[in-house]
Amino acid sequence: MPSSKLASSSVPATDDAARAVVETALAELGESAEQVSLAVELPRGYLRNFLELGVPRALPNRIRRRLAAYLGVPDFALS
């Protein structure tokens, strides 16, 4: 049975909306995930792992609020 790309994805489908918001905001700001991670006082690879690997699965509240403020999006958009 052939496997679909969706089935083999390591990123949970339910969290795609938050990841899409982050990716769009990064593109609009013209900043990399690494730059924004450092700007909101997270380890350099934090957002890259969130976007590409799905880790963490959902952003913790304190991180979500800081990130939303920096990106200029409502924090509920990242939940």
Here the CATH number for the domain that contains residue 30 is: 1.10.260
Q: Which residues contact 44 (CB under 8 A, 6 or more apart)?
A: 34, 37, 38
- pTM of the full predicted structure? 0.79
Alpha-helical runs (H) found in 9-78: 16-29, 33-39, 46-48, 61-71
Residue 69 has pLDDT above 70, yes or no: yes
Asked whether the predicted pLDDT for residue 68 surpasses 60, the reply is yes
What's the number of domains the chain is made of?
A: 1
Domain that holds residue 61: 13-78
User: What are the pLDDT digits (tens) for 4-48?
Assistant: 444 444 544 457 899 999 999 999 999 999 999 999 999 999 999
Domain assignment of residue 6, yes or no: no
